[in-house]
Amino acid sequence: MSTTLSPAAVPTITVDADPRIGLRGHVRHTGALVRRNLLWIKQDPESMFDAVLMPVVFTLLFVYVFGGSIGQSLGGGQDAYVQYVIPGMVAMMSMNIAQGVGTGFNEDFHKGIMDRFRSLPIGRASVLIAKISVELLRLLTATTVLMIVAVLVGFDIDNWAGLFGAVGLAALFGSGIMWIFLVLGVTMKNAQSVQAMGFLVMMPLQFGSSIFAPTQSMPGWLQNFTEYNPMSGLADAARGLMVGGPVAHGLWVTLAWTAGLTVVMAPIAIRKFTKKS
């Protein structure tokens, strides 16, 4: 579920009519729009249900349904699988939450909210950056819930610095992939189309990765795909940071994908948002 805005539900934004908006103006406008989104969440707390419930459902599903069998292949049963899958799920949350920004963005267009924003003398990028900022807060909420449930099912947090590093890396990658969903949100005809296209993007990346199971038993061509799959890179880096193991390859794969997605997709999203009729 994504955060949608109601024009009448929260205060309007007052900005200076300056045709040339500098950095300070963009920061001010972004802050005002973030506040507007947060006020809407406060009035509609049900919009946070997915961020709160999704980690609980996925953790219980994968630990208690698949944990025994996959854990045996790891040499330690269900307890070993908990240590393996939780860092992967930290990575998975970044993409699952990112999809919501596209559906919410599309719904805001159909409700006329984005037309109102575009009629105001505010930075166009500020609208999109504010959406990403609020979704990152939802991501941090979902990750916090995930870690609470993880501890309850037996996950050991031995390296707090590594945990915070993994969460920060997931948030960084989430901010990059959100630009894809913003492009989908501004180009697709309705929210259902955004969800369907997002599903086609998410499923191969998530299940063709090392998030849920080791990749050694996969066919050779699929192993080649997983090696440079950003979700595998993020999951492996998070696993190395949180429970120990190699970090370098997963880290540079994640950072490369994040930079590439941001550099390529952010200008496209801003341009399409500005020109959308």
User: Is 263 domain-assigned?
Assistant: yes
Question: Domain for residue 5, yes or no?
Answer: no
pLDDT at res. 13:
38
Q: What are the C-alpha distances in Å from 221 to residues 201, 206, 245, 254, 256?
A: 19, 16, 24, 21, 22
Least confident window among 77-91, 98-112, 158-172, 192-206: 98-112
Look up the pTM and report it. Answer: 0.83
Domains contained in the chain, number: 1
Within-domain flag for 69? yes
Q: Which helix (H) or strand (E) holds 227?
A: helix 220-227
Domain that holds residue 97: 23-275
Q: Is residue 7 part of a domain?
A: no
Return the minimum-mean-pLDDT range out of 59-63, 110-114, 175-179, 233-237: 110-114
Kindly state the average pLDDT of the residues 233-245. 94
Residue position matching structure tokens 């949608």 = 4
Q: What is the pLDDT of residues 109-141, one digit of tens each?
A: 777 776 676 666 666 678 888 888 888 988 998
pLDDT at 253: 94
Q: What is the predicted pLDDT for the residue at 237? A: 95
Residue 247: partners with Cβ closer than 8 Å, 6 or more residues away? 236, 237, 240, 241
pLDDT for 236 equals 95
CB count in 10 Å sphere of residue 246: 11
Residue-wise pLDDT for 4-49, tens only, equals: 444 444 444 333 334 456 667 667 777 777 887 777 777 777 767 7
d(CA 231, CA 219): 18
3, part of any domain = no
pLDDT the model gives residue 265? 93
Can you give the pLDDT at residue 46?
74
Q: Averaged over 165-194, what is the pLDDT? A: 91
User: Is 204 part of any domain?
Assistant: yes
Q: What is the mean pLDDT of residues 92-119?
A: 78
Instruction: Please state, in angstroms and rounded to a whole number, the distance separating the CA atoms of residues 168 and 145.
Output: 16
- Mean pLDDT of the chain, nearest integer: 83
Residue 80, pLDDT above cutoff 50: yes
Residue 180 has pLDDT above 70, yes or no: yes
Please check whether residue 101 lies inside any domain of the structure: yes
Is residue 105 in some structural domain? yes
What pLDDT shows up at residue 98?
83
pLDDT of residue 264: 95
The reported pLDDT for the residue numbered 252 is: 95
**Phi and psi (nearest 5°) for 267?**
-60, -35
pLDDT band at 178 (very low <50, low <70, confident <90, very high): very high
Please name the amino acid found at residue 97.
I
